[in-house]
Structure 1
């Protein structure tokens, strides 16, 4: 049996017990940015990070993209204070470019958790006179900031082709909200193209050439004790099988609330540490009693 050069003291005991029970506080591998855009809770890029409600909604290549059934939408900015995110559809028509029409689709979960805001307007262009939004559902169309269809067709090079093709009056258009395109496809709406404009409350007197094209969405942050986890040095995440909330503290230690050094109550790792500490304490007592120096 190896002999010790000096007796154990309370200092020795505290030092060795800390080695046993203190988890390594190396943060889990949850990326916190994509390009210049910070990635904070509830969003995440890596599975098991962030809130499970937003699982698999984002992808980071060279840029950050919001993923929906209708495509990938480039994220232009995320405002965590105002809880808004602005995305841009690279396949969407704007005042300067006309592209093949397509639908904007979101899953039911996305529509509930991160819907377009009320100050995002969908402009349905080149509609047929038989379009439902010009007949039975005409109440879905509204005037925003005193802008008109003729203004869009006359000011935008990309949309002027609709006016020229009509030969006489400009074809109908419809300014509407997200719920319209959520429940009716472009084929049902009988409009060939659409564009979206954000911050429409501040566009009175501003022409289409200077509008901000894109889709602003709002989100809520789930109340899962994340703040407590972050304050303890952890990263908020979840179990990928059960989707139960976790505080990701290290590569080997995950807890349900916070990363507490030497915690004996949060998870299996804490229980193991507690058993080891008790065993070590017994060994020290036996040594002091039967192996005096």
Structure 2
């Protein structure tokens, strides 16, 4: 005769106890961070974030992730090639920028006012203005904005690069060019500068005696990180983020729990929820399990 499983049988109690013990083991693994930690092959760490509320609020909505990570500005989306969190630099590439091997229609590189302050192009990023008119302001009234770039010249650019050689061929001369910094293109558009194309080169301090074919083309950005107590949050197992309404600092402890400083047991979250409810639930499970064991 087949036995009947009732709430009073030892086997039924044993099954309930097993399920309760499994629940206790599973609960900690459900406390996952709500923030993505990578996009493609690029690690995402504070102060950056892909999901709203993650990272520092100053960088909110500056990144998007498809298959690759992109940094967005008013002039376009720029693929992030690398981020060095120790040196606080990020290298991006402008797909519409001319290089030694390809000539692109000219356009402006624009950043918002806040981007220009907290993540501007680094001092060793050189903006090269190409095929400039003799009436260009950087060759006349603002000629002090052009500077010597490790001994390199316009002749070298137009002679070495297939893409830029066209400028020399069309005019049968060497059109002016200008090696300058980000502030020049920040305040003057390409139309005002009266130069048809531009390119950008990074790590300029190490390019003395290195020809244009071996330059690294791209834009290196330098970012700053405000002191918000993030290290304390990270040490407690949390992820540094912010409240999406108040933009105040928040330590993200799980997908459902945030703390004001750190993910310590019993800490209360910004929304009035914390670890205490989970601890009470775990205590209830332990008491119930003990009761069942005593009655097996």
* TM bucket, shorter chain: 0.7 to 0.9
Query: What is the aligned partner in structure 1 of residue 108 from structure 2?
Result: 103
1:217 equivalenced with 2:234 (yes/no): no
Q: Describe the SS at the equivalent of 1:180.
A: helix
Query: What is the aligned partner in structure 1 of residue 183 from structure 2?
Result: 179
Query: What is the aligned partner in structure 2 of residue 253 from structure 1?
Result: 257
d(CA) in 1 for partners of 2:272, 2:181: 50
Give 1:27 shift: 2.5
1:235 equivalenced with 2:243 (yes/no): no
Contact 1:27–1:234 (8 Å) recurs in 2? no
Considering only aligned residues, what root-mean-square deviation do their CA atoms show, in Å? 2.5
Give 1:273 shift: 4.8
Of 70, 89, 92 in structure 1, the residue corresponding to residue 94 of structure 2 is 89
d(CA) in 2 for partners of 1:24, 1:264: 20
Distance 1:269 1:105, change over 3 A: same
Q: Spell out, residue by residue over 1:41-85, the C-alpha distance to the aligned partner (whole angstroms, 9 max, x if none).
A: 000111110000000111111111110000011111000000000
Contact 1:115–1:218 (8 Å) recurs in 2? yes
Q: Mind listing any 5+ residue stretches in structure 2 that lack a counterpart?
A: 1-23, 285-296
Q: Describe the SS at the equivalent of 1:216.
A: strand
Give 1:255 shift: 1.0
Give 1:272 shift: 7.3
Of stretches 229-238 and 172-181 in structure 1, the one that deviates more from structure 2 is 229-238
Q: Spell out, residue by residue over 1:216-252, the C-alpha distance to the aligned partner (whole angstroms, 9 max, x if none).
A: 0101112111111111111111111111111111222
Distance 1:264 1:79, change over 3 A: closer
Q: Describe the SS at the equivalent of 1:159.
A: helix
Give 1:143 shift: 0.7
Q: Spell out, residue by residue over 1:149-181, the C-alpha distance to the aligned partner (whole angstroms, 9 max, x if none).
A: 0100000000001001112x2110000000000
Q: Describe the SS at the equivalent of 1:139.
A: helix
Give 1:107 shift: 0.3
Matches for 1:19-168 after TM superposition, within 5 Å: 26-167=31-172
d(CA) in 2 for partners of 1:96, 1:34: 28
Q: How many residues align?
A: 261
Q: Report the TM-score when normalising by structure 1.
A: 0.83
Give 1:23 shift: 8.5
Q: Spell out, residue by residue over 1:83-123, the C-alpha distance to the aligned partner (whole angstroms, 9 max, x if none).
A: 00000001100000001000000000100000001110000
Query: What is the aligned partner in structure 2 of residue 190 from structure 1?
Result: 194
Of stretches 255-264 and 218-227 in structure 1, the one that deviates more from structure 2 is 255-264
Distance 1:129 1:264, change over 3 A: closer
Contact 1:264–1:273 (8 Å) recurs in 2? no
Contact 1:100–1:193 (8 Å) recurs in 2? yes
d(CA) in 1 for partners of 2:77, 2:33: 27
Contact 2:267–2:276 (8 Å) recurs in 1? no
Give 1:270 shift: 4.5
d(CA) in 2 for partners of 1:149, 1:164: 14
d(CA) in 1 for partners of 2:64, 2:241: 17
Contact 1:23–1:261 (8 Å) recurs in 2? no
Q: Mind listing any 5+ residue stretches in structure 1 that lack a counterpart?
A: 1-18, 281-293
Q: Describe the SS at the equivalent of 1:158.
A: helix
